Amino acid sequence: MVQLVGSLRKELADSLSACRVLVVGAGGIGCELLKNLVLTGFKNIEVIDLDTIDVSNLNRQFLFQKKHVGKSKAQVAKESVLQFCPTANITAYHDSIMNPEYNVEFFRNFMLVMNALDNRAARNHVNRMCLAADIPLIESGTAGYLGQVTVIKKGLTECYECQPKPTQKTFPGCTIRNTPSEPIHCIVWAKYLFNQLFGEEDADQEVSPDTADPELTWNPADTEARATASDQDGDIKRVSTKDWARSTGYDTVKLFNKDCLSESLFKDDIQYLLTMDKLWKKRKAPLPLDWLEIQKLGKILEVTGTGLKDQQVLGVAGYSQLFSRSVETLRSMLADKGDGAELVWDKDDPPAMDFVTAAANLRMHIFSMNMKSRFDIKSMAGNIIPAIATTNAVIAGLIVLEALKILSGDVEQCRTIFLNKQPNPRKKLLVPCALDPPSANCYVCASKPEVTVKLNVHKTLVLALQDKILKEKFGMVAPDVQIEDGKGTILISSEEGETEANNSKFLSDFGIRHGSRLQVDDFLQDYTLLVNVIHCEDLEKDVEFEVVGDAPDKAPTPPSAQEDKNVANGNKDSAEPSTSSKAPAEQDDVLIVDSDEEEPSSSTMDVRMESGGHKRKLHDAETGEASAKRQRLDQPLAADEEDDDIIALD
């Protein structure tokens, strides 16, 4: 007769109480997961999260209360969970999982790791650490009503990076600066403007008209001369946006219109655009706004829409007043921080959100688009898919069920489980699928990881190789690079100061040419990657490098029906994980796609079930080739039946 402890076999219950597990993330999924773990019988739990509690977390992260706002999520989650089970041994870390102290030896202390993260960079890192430590990882994610849980085991299943992930939707700079045609273009512009005025200036986030627009065929000097001819001062001196704004004391009228030194925002920059005749031959020309003319409209504010204040759309006068108030508030905040200080844009910071809402809507009006509510703009600018507490609860429960299989020694019985928004024809919301084997082409978990990168060795700096290719693209934390040239030349060292002098040099300066091979090691991740270099001088405009072959940058094209939901913000901070000290706190249960831009709705991969009981292949957007099938585990459908879409979350 089987002896039970509660609902578990005694052997399994004893295993739960003795094993040591790590939970990465203490947000939406993390709160539900920690509660489930202690109530199931887990006694030794460690949880790590760098975020602090925000008021917006309280509607679903039930371990937190109003009195906890501003405190560490991990620490408060520990204290709250101990009320469910005072005998549990819980250790909380208010820290980034990507810090070097959490190395492979740290991960080897655990029998199981469970991710409750919100971003790709941190997921990639934990994936690699678990592979290096040979520890099972349970990965999860939610996006609104959709959710997914999967198990990753070295040598047995796909790792997190085996399958292609959708590349972020990006927009050419000339579209943002000259010819916006969608609200998201104006929102990106407004966020650029925030950084130009109050944050860290970035040359790639310029907001003034782009005279290098490829659609322009005339002499830009002649155009500028025509643009300035009508100005009373006869000359426009283009200076740093922040320097000019400070010189005016962040005067709203001067920001809005134009002063003798200025580059304007809503009036003269638009008049300048109008002189670029070719841009408007097939487009509706923009209409400049004048601050004084808007003020003549009086104090009557147009408001459309019903419901909550954030869901209402103001008129031009209303947004001009909001722009003025937000600029003054942000100016004061910047002044309080002292000389040389910078502000960081945060969707949960009211003045910052007001600024982007107002600036984006004024630009939408100028370019004849329907203006958006603050709620809509926050959703796009902050890359938010509304979090659903029930989804988090379901996914957290599924994580524990998969954990029980692993601790029972039944890893082969583990499944990838999808939570759908609508029941399929079999009336099922939860659809289990067999785990796929590792991809032979994966540059992370293959026996000898190798990639080929196409770039111009005469134009690519060593710093760009380190930051944009190795860290940003391939997810490394502290790469060391050695050239396979027979001499073992060290190109990049993770030791501070050793190779900094190389950063400003081109790859060709070190003899790197077509066919060169670089050995890259990340000792923190216990990861080695061989990079084959292909020299190319005809890359597309604004493309610095391309990864050749079966790499995760080649992702399925998102369904066109979701294109209007695609979000991009162009903020480099968005590429940083919320568990990193560089990034503002994010909602842990909001599925984020990281890169220079973020696009929650396209972070999912739509896969339709075939009547034969298998998923259709995920077609590669560039080659048309398909990735591996994943077998569905319930009975085959009848010939006239077909399952609803199954969404594979990031």
Nearest by Cα to 616 from 605, 604, 634, 630: 630
Determine the Cα–Cα distance for residues 484 and 164; give it in Å rounded to an integer. Answer: 29
Tokens standing for 222? 């002649």
Q: Residue 260: which of 270, 271, 247, 273 has the closest Cα? A: 247
Is 58 annotated as a binding-site member? yes
> How would you classify the pairing of strands 20-24 and 112-115?
parallel
> Per the annotation, does 315 bind a ligand?
no
Whether 309 has a binding-site annotation, put simply, is no
| Residue type at 264 in one-letter notation | S
Does the annotation place 522 within a ligand binding site? no
Alpha-helical (H) ranges within 251-300 are 252-256, 268-274, 291-295
| Residue 412, C-beta contacts closer than 8 angstroms, at least 6 positions apart | 156
Whether 26 has a binding-site annotation, put simply, is yes
Kindly state the tokens that stand for 80.
Answer: 């709250």
Q: List, as one string, the DSSP characters of 509-525.
A: GGT--TT-EEEEEETTT
Whether 433 has a binding-site annotation, put simply, is no
By the 8 A CB rule, do 502 and 493 touch?
Answer: no
Give phi and psi for 247, each to the nearest 5. -65, -25
Q: Does the annotation list 638 as a binding residue?
A: no
Length of the chain as a residue count:
650
- What whole-number distance in Å separates Cα of residue 402 and Cα of residue 415? 8
Check the annotation: does 28 bind a ligand.
yes
Q: Is 121 annotated as a binding residue?
A: yes
Residue 114 and residue 70: Cα distance in Å, rounded?
Answer: 25
DSSP 138-175: EEEEEETTEEEEEEE-TTTS--TTTS--PPPP---HHH
Question: CB neighbours of 102 closer than 8 A, spacing ≥ 6?
Answer: 48, 95, 129
Q: Is 456 annotated as a binding residue?
A: no
Amino acid identity at 453: V
Is 25 assigned to a binding site? yes
The reply to whether 414 sits in an annotated binding site is no
613 annotated to a ligand binding site: no
* CA 296 from centre of chain: 42
Q: Using CA atoms, how far apart are residues 55 and 71, in angstroms rounded to an integer?
A: 11
Residue 30 annotated as part of some ligand binding site: yes
Answer yes or no: is 415 a known binding residue: no
Q: Strands 89-93 and 112-115, how do they pair?
A: unpaired
CA 119/CA 98 separation, integer angstroms: 13
**Which candidate, 598, 542, 456, 564, places its Cα nearest to that of 210?**
542
Q: Is 338 annotated as a binding residue?
A: no
Residue 60 assigned ligand-binding role: yes
Tokens of 286: 């923009």
Token digits of residue 305? 């829409």
Residue in 31, 85, 130, 174 annotated catalytic? 174
Token pair recorded at residue 577? 């994980």
342 backbone φψ class: left, alpha, beta (φ>0; ψ -120 to 50): beta
Catalytic site residue 19? no
User: Is 212 marked as binding a ligand?
Assistant: no
H-type alpha helices, 473-520: none
> Within its chain, how far is the Cα of 568 from the centroid?
9
**Of 369, 385, 387, nearest to 184 (Cα)?**
369
Whole-angstrom distance, CA of residue 495 vs CA of residue 478: 9
**Does 118 carry a binding-site annotation?**
yes
Tokens found for residue 398: 């599924």
CA atoms within 13 A on the CB side of 288: 18
User: Is there a binding annotation on residue 57?
Assistant: yes
Of the chain, the end-to-end C-alpha distance in Å amounts to: 43
Instruction: List, as residue ranges, the binding site for Zn(2+).
Output: 159, 162, 442, 445
Instruction: List, as residue ranges, the binding site.
Output: 25-30, 49, 57-60, 73, 96-97, 118-123, 159, 162, 442, 445
Residues taking part in catalysis: 174
Instruction: List, as residue ranges, the binding site for ATP.
Output: 25-30, 49, 57-60, 73, 96-97, 118-123
